Amino acid sequence: MRSTDVVIIGAGAAGLMCAMTAAARGRRVLLLDSSNKPGKKILMSGGGRCNFTNMYAEPANFSSRNPHFCKSALARYTPWDFIALVDRHGVPYHEKKLGQLFCDNRSKDILNLLLDECRQAGVELHVTTAVREIARADAGYVLDTDLGEVTASSVVIATGGLSIPTLGATGFGYEIARRFGHTVLPTRAGLVPFTTSGELKELCAELTGTSVAAVVSCGEESFRENILFTHRGLSGPAILQISSFWHPGDTVTIDLLPDHDVLEWLQGRQAARPDSELKTVLGEVFTKKMATLLADRWFTSRPMKRYTPAELRGIADTLGAWPVVPAGTEGYRTAEVTLGGVDTREVSSKTMESVKSPGLYFIGEVLDVTGHLGGFNFQWAWASGHAAAQVA
């Protein structure tokens, strides 16, 4: 039987940060992952360039049943702490937009940095290693693993959420949480494209690849970013953002001309170019294909002078607040995150330790803390992993 101080289950973003930090503190750390490689999501992230943090990360960028929970960890390990680590390793990066920091080269730079830190600190990492059972023992826990039985005073669950099963996602963390008396809040896919049906699906399919700046709203939430038409429905950063706040049946409102007072603009065009067709006028602000499609399909395109004031108002209303009822989302297959998870009201916000079972910790996405798009989810993984490592 092996004995160690800390076993961390899951060598993703949170598990790697926790492992390197705990080991640097002098703890003997065993890091286990059932997948054949560590950090697969890091490699896939940010379109291959890992949006590893956001300079403006703050608690308001995270959703949780318990919105105060993330504050302490985020305050104690900030984006600047991670940036300092990235700088120490000489990894080149840039701000793409809105505080989002991406690698100049490839996501692998971030994974290598974490693995280097783990190696230097003496973390023992095993991939393709399953954990079958975790039970309480006298001085901590005993785990039944592919390495045999392991005892440890602390066990950290860093198994992530359910999104993208092909990258190693499993529901193991939730199972363990339930087994130790924790509440697991219902999970659903977040930061995920919408699917559409019927005429809307046809429209989206015809416009596949077209991207436009928009303000997308659902309930109280609103995001200004691009939307992208796809052959399945709608995607792009604004859609991914709002998907985390959408529930089946909700209407999503899309302002397709967020920089215009649309009615005033249309009235101005009607006065200045009365003989121009609507599709030509819309061609000033949309691609030709999109302008033609919307004008023909939605407003039976004709010369501007032939629209009555009420019709013009109708066009302005539709373009400024296009109501869309998605058929659904693409689900965990393509979702960047999982909403819901281990209820944070039963976990210490300072240490991530279970209040039900001392020595058991939950970090990263397995917890009911989900960031907006833009580097926030990794910042949560770093911050929560770092917090647990101070005591585990």
Determine the length of the chain: 392
Run of H or E residues at 342: strand 337-342
Position among 6, 21, 31, 41 found at the interface with ligand FAD (CB under 6 A): 41
For 78, phi then psi, to 5°, come to -100, 170
Of 170 and 390, the one with the shorter C-beta distance to ligand FAD is 170
| Cα–Cα dist 230/44, whole Å | 20
Q: Is 225 helix (H, G, I), strand (E, B) or coil?
A: strand
Position among 61, 64, 159, 196 found at the interface with ligand FAD (CB under 6 A): 159
Asked if 332 contacts 169 with a C-beta cutoff of 8 angstroms, the reply is yes
Position among 6, 20, 23, 46 found at the interface with ligand FAD (CB under 6 A): 46
Position among 6, 7, 12, 64 found at the interface with ligand FAD (CB under 6 A): 12
The C-alpha torsion from 120 through 124 and 130 to 132, rounded to 10°, is: -130
| Cα–Cα dist 276/290, whole Å | 17
The single-letter DSSP state of residue 276 is S
Question: CB-side exposure of 264: number of CA atoms within 13 Å?
Answer: 4
Of 168 and 359, the one with the shorter C-beta distance to ligand FAD is 168
Of 346 and 365, the one with the shorter C-beta distance to ligand FAD is 365
56-64, 158-166, 246-254, 265-273 -> range binding ligand FAD (CB under 6 A): 158-166
4-12, 78-86, 209-217, 347-355 -> range binding ligand FAD (CB under 6 A): 4-12
| 172 belongs to the binding site for ligand FAD (CB under 6 A) | yes
Single-letter amino acid, residue 84: A
| Cα–Cα dist 246/237, whole Å | 14
Of 174 and 246, the one with the shorter C-beta distance to ligand FAD is 174
Asked if 372 contacts 51 with a C-beta cutoff of 8 angstroms, the reply is no
CB of 52 to ligand FAD, least distance (A): 7
| Strand partners for 140 | 137
| 51 belongs to the binding site for ligand FAD (CB under 6 A) | yes
Position among 3, 72, 151, 170 found at the interface with ligand FAD (CB under 6 A): 170
The single-letter DSSP state of residue 260 is S
Position among 8, 365, 386, 389 found at the interface with ligand FAD (CB under 6 A): 365
Which residues are CB-neighbours of 85 under 8 A, at least 6 positions away? 113, 117
CB of 51 to ligand FAD, least distance (A): 3
CB of 386 to ligand FAD, least distance (A): 12
The contact mask relative to ligand FAD for 290-329 (x = CB under 6 A, - = no) is ----------------------------------------
Residues engaged in binding ligand FAD (CB under 6 A): 9-15, 32-35, 40-41, 44-46, 50-51, 130-131, 158-160, 163-164, 168, 170, 172, 336-337, 364-365, 375-378, 381
